Structure 1
Amino acid sequence: MLNRLEIKNFTVFAEADLRFGKQLNLIVGENGAGKTHLLKLAYALLATSWEEGSKPHATAPTKTVLQASIAEKLTGVFRPEALGRLARRKQGRERCDIQFAFDQPDLDINFGFATNSKSEVSIAQLPEQWLNAAPCYLPTRELLTIYPNFLAVYDNHYLEFEETWRDTCRLLGGLLQRGPKEARVRELLEPLEAAMQGSMELDRNGRFYLRNASGRMEIPLVAEGLRKLGMLARLIATGALLDQGYLFWDEPEANLNPRLIRQIARTIVELSENGIQVFIATHSLFLLRELEIVLAERPSSLDTRFFGLQRLDNSVTVQQGPSLYDIGDITVLEESLLQSDRYLAMGD
């Protein structure tokens, strides 16, 4: 599990030290506060380690390999004009330093780059082994509709799409989980399929369908909110989100109605209980409250951490703690509460 992320001069952050929960992590803030940047940074490092370790005849990590592969992954995930553009913008040259700490110390890594860096990072601490669990990144947009032939086109042409889309499409095309784990897969899938009123199918031509009592419906004709549930269901069915690994999900509530958000909240908690370390970026008070309701129903508490991002002068500060009350006043959440007050006042 990822225990800690220390950053200095990375995008909007002058300095931050994030201590993660072993199961569920909720990053809250306004638009432009850096929520997605934190998700992408953590995902890029974990994905680099997993990908390098999964290559045929992979050897132990080396500086030569990691200096180039981390830079390439950061550039692919963030899509800056150059790697150095990810360093915090200020007058003169500035250096960005990033340190990851895991529950297994032999995975720890410390690296950095300067504003003029292009294709390599510098490694200050080298991990001794590669990550053995694949991370998964879910963007705000569903990807089932673009899946047909997307991997082939992406790998053979330059497209202005974040590399997270390519990575997630590759996981969506994985084989269905079979064997002893099928019962657990079915347990996680049943509430999602009930909400979708059907199950996901992938045909030989690479097209997704929603199968229900009326037959098969091609995925572009399915409501977008249900397609997001379908994407999550498919990743559970293939085992990508089962037993171990990491899930990074940017604004799960996007394009979902409250009923579906309630189901998403329950599934997020169940994945956390099942061994997946989950990282959520959101500014939805509804989702946060629903997660707290679900967590309160559990007989044993999950190791959960909240992170509140707030702009201060020319940087973003991070407040963190085990509850929503530990992260200070987040403007976007306050606006939701004030709207409720204004609405109730209309009846007076």
Structure 2
Amino acid sequence: MLKRLHLKNFTVFADADFEFGPGLNVLVGTNGTGKSHVLKVGYAVAQTVAGAVQRRHAKPDEITSQGLSFFDVVGLSIRLSNIFLAGTQNKLVRNSIIKQDAQVETSLGQTGDTKLAFSIEYSESPSNKMGEASFVMGEEYVAVATTPVFIQAKEILSLMPDIVGISAQNPDVFDSTYTDLATQLTIRAPKEPPMFAKPILDAWAALMRGTILSEDGRFYFQPATGARFRVGLAAEGFRKLGTLAHLLANGSLTKNATLFWDEPETNLNSALLRELAKALAELASQGFQIILATHSMSLLKEFHILSRELDKEKLPIKYFGLNAEPGQPTTVVTRDDFKYLPDVVALEAELDQADDLEEIFARESR
């Protein structure tokens, strides 16, 4: 799991510290506050560490004085470029009067004894120069490091398997989180899904009145009655649920793989959103780490309701409120209850809308 992420002079952050926990970690903020940036840099770090651990098992002597192999350092640099598509890496350094390098410090694992830190050099001209990188591999993390999963706001089931070829020919169309996800989706699911996932998959099949199937890298919707058809003809909400369902069924998403999800609420109706919230809460309760970004009050309400269910164990959940005044860096506030996030614009706008609607109803009923 990703335990800590400290960002200095990175994109919109001057100095921001994220202490993630096991279970659900919810980033809340309006557009432009850096929610997606947090997910992407966290994902890049988790990918790099998983690759370093795997390489260390294969070639234990391939280590630099900082603890990272040459391939790890180069891989991290390429990964940042391909994930952010910023043109050059110096674009990831925050613009400010103080011309300083961007610094990223992370710790991973339950105890946080695995650490990765790196910097990106400030430059007024295009540059892809990274500064010093350091890596300490903790004993606990070595045994469980698994490639993370990143799900974007846009669904890609309808683009499978063509998205891989499109990305290869046009590398600036999709960032590498899309092609990484596409690769994970190509893994065939066994006939019987893992036991922990079966209740979730059965509930979704009943809700959708059908299932999403994979054949030769392409996805289809199989209704409970009738012939199957291309998944692109199915509701987009079904495709989003189908993405998570397939990752659970084929073993790409496990307790040892952090799930990063950008705006999971996109294009989901209220019924599907409620089912998705239940599934994420269930996975969090089973020990999965989920880091997601949202500005949906409906999703936050669902999590709050689920966290207050009396007949279940307390839901492990943390909220991170991201705010930024015009021209100022984004600040972060951490709470265990979203009600206590101060002045989160994304929430205030939705609350104001609800108040306006109530006022209209009251006026029309007079």
1:58 CA drift (Å):
4.5
Structure 1: 5+ residue runs without aligned partners? none
Partner of residue 106, structure 2: 100
2:181 corresponds in structure 1 to 168
C-alpha separation in 2, matches of 1:75 and 1:172: 23
Alpha-carbon shift at residue 67 of structure 1 (Å): 2.3
Label 1:178 to 1:58 Cα distance change in 2 as closer, same or farther (>3 A): farther
- Paired residue for 2:90, among 80, 84, 87? 84
1:121-176 deviations in whole A, cap 9, x for unaligned? 42144446766212111100001011123334534663431100011011111131
Q: TM-score, normalised by structure 1?
A: 0.92
1:182, distance to aligned residue in structure 2 (A): 2.9
Partner of 1:146: 159
The DSSP-based 3-state class of the residue aligned with 1:232 is helix
Instruction: Name 2:340's counterpart in structure 1.
Output: 326
The aligned residue for residue 149 of structure 2 is: 136
Amino acid at match of 1:232: L
The offset of 1:62, in angstroms, is 2.1
Q: CA contact under 8 A between 1:96 and 1:114: conserved in structure 2?
A: yes
Matched, 1:269 2:281: yes
* Secondary structure of residue in 1 paired with 2:157: coil
Deviations 1:258-299 (A, max 9, x none): 111111111111111222100110000011001111122262
Determine the structure 2 residue equivalent to 1:248: 260
The residue that corresponds to 1:114 in the other structure is 121
Indicate the residue corresponding to 1:158 in structure 2.
171
Q: Whole-Å Cα distance in 1 between the matches of residues 168 and 26 of structure 2? A: 32
1:39-68 CA-to-partner distances (Å, cap 9, x unmatched) read 111011111222344469354652523322
Cα deviation 1:90-113 (Å, max 9, x = unaligned): 246321111111224442112111
With 8-17 and 212-221 compared, the bigger mean Cα shift is at 212-221
Higher mean displacement: 145-154 or 258-267:
145-154
- Secondary structure at 1:229 match in 2: helix
CA shift for structure 1 position 339:
1.5
- Comparing 184-193 and 149-158, the one that deviates more: 149-158
Partner of 1:292: 304
Q: CA deviation at 1:255?
A: 0.9
Q: Which residue of 2 aligns with 1:308?
A: 321
Q: Pick from 73, 93, 101: which aligns with 1:67?
A: 73
CA distance in 2, matches of 1:267, 1:324: 19
Alignment of structure 1 residues 165-244 onto 2, 5 Å: 165-177=178-190, 182-204=194-216, 206-212=217-223, 213-244=225-256
Report the TM-score, using the length of structure 2 for normalisation. Answer: 0.88
Is this contact kept in 2: 1:112–1:121, CA < 8 A?
A: yes
Q: Can you list the C-alpha shifts for 1:2-60, whole angstroms capped at 9, x where unaligned?
A: 22111100000000111112111000000001111111110111112223444693546
Aligned partners of 1:202 and 1:183: how far apart in 2?
20
- 1:58 & 1:310 partners in 2: Cα distance? 44
Distance in 1 of aligned mates of 2:53 and 2:165: 23
* Percent of aligned positions that are identical: 30
Q: Following TM superposition, by how much is the alpha carbon of 1:334 offset from its aligned partner in structure 2, in angstroms?
A: 1.2
Moved more, 100-109 or 194-203: 100-109
1:64 to 1:104, Cα distance in 2 relative to 1, 3 A: farther
- Change over 3 Å in CA distance of 1:105–1:29 after alignment to 2: closer
Q: Which residue matches 2:58? A: 57
Distance in 2 separating the partners of 1:242 and 1:200: 20
Report the 3-state secondary structure (helix = DSSP H, G, I; strand = E; otherwise coil) of the residue aligned with 1:315. Answer: coil
Give how far 1:177 is off.
4.3
Counterpart amino acid of residue 16 in structure 2: A
Kindly provide the CA deviation profile for residues 189-211 of structure 1, in whole angstroms up to 9, marking residues without a partner as x: 1122222221121112x210011
Asked if the contact 2:255/2:289 (under 8 Å) is kept, the reply is no
Query: Could you say what secondary structure the match of 2:290 adopts?
Result: strand
Matched residues in 1 for 2:209 and 2:90: separation? 47
Q: Does the Cα contact within 8 Å between 2:107 and 2:114 map onto a contact in 1?
A: yes
Q: Alpha-carbon deviations, 1:207-246, whole Å to 9, x = none?
A: 1001122121211111111111111111111122233311
CA contact (8 A) 1:68 1:120 kept: no
Unaligned runs of 5+ in 2: none
Higher deviation after alignment, 281-290 or 153-162? 153-162
